[in-house]
Structure 1
């Protein structure tokens, strides 16, 4: 009879392996042995956000396993994801789930651990690590509870059968996200930092890419929620600049992703000096070339990228505002960036958006900014489609994260690299 066990782990900033949990033993299959093992949730950030794509069982210590005895039916996986903060009556959170995760493959990794590959895909329900709370306009990192059920014994190479008596959930592992270290500025703004490896970095000082997140990735301080996680897990915006491809193009770049205490549009002029404080502190502590500091961001962050160049015209070598907000947020309200401010921008600027963006319509925002910013470049897509999957029109940051925009055969990362303050 299959016996399920579960272990809850809160996916908080810097969380390590979950604390031990006492579990009752179960009878082994005849002639078998029992043992408890931990497991890791392995995740990838897809273009549509992070998903748990496999589970690694810590079985290496049991001895060499016969891979022929581990199949997709050996274990079953159930996943439950819930909000880390209370949801008010009548409010809605997208992407919570409580379901079975199909096991698509079972294998032994080079360390001797059993890896259960799970079904996942862009737009697939279940498996995501973030939920979106409608009333707050925030992505939050979901509390994940994974339950592993062993349906049949597997065997070691000495033919001894093994039945695992208990499972203990550990950390969420995502090498791309984990490569960004955790920091807090002197003013209290949290940020993540990618530092180039010696293999990717050139000699001398390195460029710095500043990634400014969208509105959904800020904190929710009234709920005591400030995770320093969603900026990297919601999309590949910052991660794209830390890939091997980008690091080769930039000859090794630092990438910093500050997290707003709310959302950049709430008060751009107040947030601007807090972002600059982080940049200056990084330049003091790391070999950063002050002539090669680039700012890029999406939606709220697209607005903030433009705002930074209006307030600090001498700081940045280039700016990449993606589907950035320029016009009023409400009919008849004040514009977020005035025509006079746009006309004064002297920083080389490449704007990106999609014509089917209904969240931040291109005409009064990106296209209007392009008309006023002298010598600016602009890429307009018809739709946001990547690897055959069509995303909402607002998600044009996917293209920048993949170095797709190009003009005269020069792609956007190469263009950024060529710019100097």
Structure 2
């Protein structure tokens, strides 16, 4: 007889993955090994049909059926939440995940935009299992009982009450201390547009902004992640052009102001805006158009071509707080056409609180991802949001640490200190 399983999702540097499966047992166990179970997955669309998906992020035209076995890296007795126990009524299976194990990913882009996919697992007992009531054989788990994602705890989806509504996800500061709290706005990249705002904060590790560590920097902060139906760089043509305009400029500003007006405890002197790629473009667009509204901006691999920025634009933000992040080997948004000349123009104009962390490359230092040779995995150079969201940005364009009152700070620590 088949049984049900529970899945646990974690938002990693490479997006959300099912990293653990929990299997209820007929009797408690004290020991289990990874070879005792095999895990097979089928990734399905909303109609329940097997997806044909790209083999990698860059090879979008090279597709294959999204099904197969996921290696089990670790197994142990657990409780129903998946916590290890000396003797447990459940078994927890930790799965291989990451860039080389995309079958465990909760999202993909079958039509160009990232969406959550339906995952159907079949977990089969393949080795001996001794319980308190004797040996158990032939266990098969093939239907879901529930799923959890602790990383996204506290996030809520909503829609702006505006003339051109935008979906968004948001997080409320979990603090009992009185007084107004700052607002961090995150604008997603091109792949996270669409109709499910969960993708705007889970497609990449935006939920890190609600983590205890980052929240502590700000003394508790609101986080707002608006979602565009298409992409922020859409100037109305539906193409990725070089006009520097967006058809969503007014809709986004209306969405932000609607959210601020309905959360009276937001400190209007501490509203920060940032985002990656397309969202980096929109960060710059909003900062240029509304320089007095935001206390600081932190664009990542931003895609606003410098040729569209006027000298008047530069003069309007040179005295504002701004910290760029980009990688030199970005193959998608060339820094020589975007951030580099813009940064240099700001410095030449006399900017004092403008910084630029310029990575040589983006390597994994947190997840333990390895390439096929066993070396730390090197991400595509476009993924500069990974060190930003891991709070690893510390150096300025000259290679020296950014400091406040003589003390080195990370980008997010610096951000928390900015005020209009």
After TM superposition, the structure 1 stretch with the greater mean CA deviation from structure 2, 292-301 or 338-347, is 338-347
Cα deviation, residue 319, structure 1: 0.1
Matches within 5 A, 1:22-421: 25=1, 37-59=3-25, 62=26, 65-68=28-31, 70-84=32-46, 92=61, 97-111=66-80, 112-133=89-110, 137-151=112-126, 154-159=129-134, 161=136, 164=139, 167-186=142-161, 187-198=164-175, 202-219=177-194, 226-236=195-205, 238-267=206-235, 268-286=245-263, 287-327=265-305, 335=307, 337-345=309-317, 346-373=319-346, 374-375=351-352, 376-387=354-365, 388-406=376-394, 407-408=402-403, 409-421=408-420
State how far apart, in whole Å, the 2-side matches of 1:343 and 1:299 are: 24
User: Which 10-residue stretch deviates more, 267-276 or 74-83?
Assistant: 267-276
Rate the CA distance shift 1:338–1:386 in 2: closer, same or farther, 3 A. Answer: farther
Q: How well do the aligned residues superpose, as a CA RMSD in angstroms?
A: 2.7
Flag the 1:270–1:321 CA change in 2: closer, same or farther, 3 A: same
2:121 and 2:143 in contact (8 A); partners too: no
Residue 109 to residue 87, structure 1, CA distance change in 2 (3 Å): closer
Match of 1:332 in 2: none
In structure 2, stretches of 5+ residues that fail to align are 54-59, 81-88, 236-244, 366-375, 395-401
For the 8 Å contact 1:83–1:96, the answer to whether it is kept is no
* Compared CA separation, residues 309 and 385, structure 1 to 2 (3 A): same
Per-residue deviation at 1:279?
Answer: 2.5
Give 1:355 deviation, angstroms.
0.8
Q: Which has the higher contact order (CA 8 A, sep 6+)?
A: 1
TM-score normalised by structure 1 residue count? 0.79
Q: Deviations over 1:59-109 (max 9, x none)?
A: 4xx45x0222x3323321101224558879xx8376863111122222222
Match of 1:349, SS state, is strand
Structure 1 residues 127 and 337 mapped into 2: Cα distance closer, same or farther (>3 Å)? farther
Change (3 A) 1:45 1:167: same
1:139-179 deviation digits (Å, cap 9, x = unpaired):
23223221121335645434474764653214442211243
**Matches of 2:11 and 2:311 in 1, distance apart?**
37
2:114 aligns to what SS in structure 1? strand
How many angstroms apart in 2 are the aligned matches of 1:365 and 1:171? Answer: 45
Q: Secondary structure at the match of 1:126?
A: helix
Q: Which moved more, 1:295-304 or 1:38-47?
A: 38-47
CA distance in 1, matches of 2:158, 2:11: 21
For residues 152 and 164 of structure 1, the distance between their equivalents in structure 2, rounded to whole angstroms, comes to 10
- Distance in structure 2 (CA, Å) of the matches to 1:138 and 1:340: 35
Aligned to 2:372: none
Task: Rate the CA distance shift 1:260–1:93 in 2: closer, same or farther, 3 A.
Answer: farther
Alpha-carbon separation, structure 2, partners of 1:174 and 1:95: 28
Unmatched 5+ residue regions in structure 1?
1-24, 26-35, 220-225, 329-334
2: CA distance, partners of 1:96 / 1:295:
39
**SS in structure 1 at match of 2:214:** helix
Change in CA separation of 1:52 and 1:264 when aligned onto 2, cut-off 3 Å = same
Counterpart Cα distance in 2 of 1:317 and 1:94: 44
Whether the 8 Å contact between 1:84 and 1:140 is mirrored in structure 2 is: no
Counterparts of 2:416 and 2:281, CA distance in 1: 22
What displacement does 1:227 show? 2.0
Aligned 8 A contact 1:82 1:96 in 2: no
Distance 1:288 1:121, change over 3 A: same
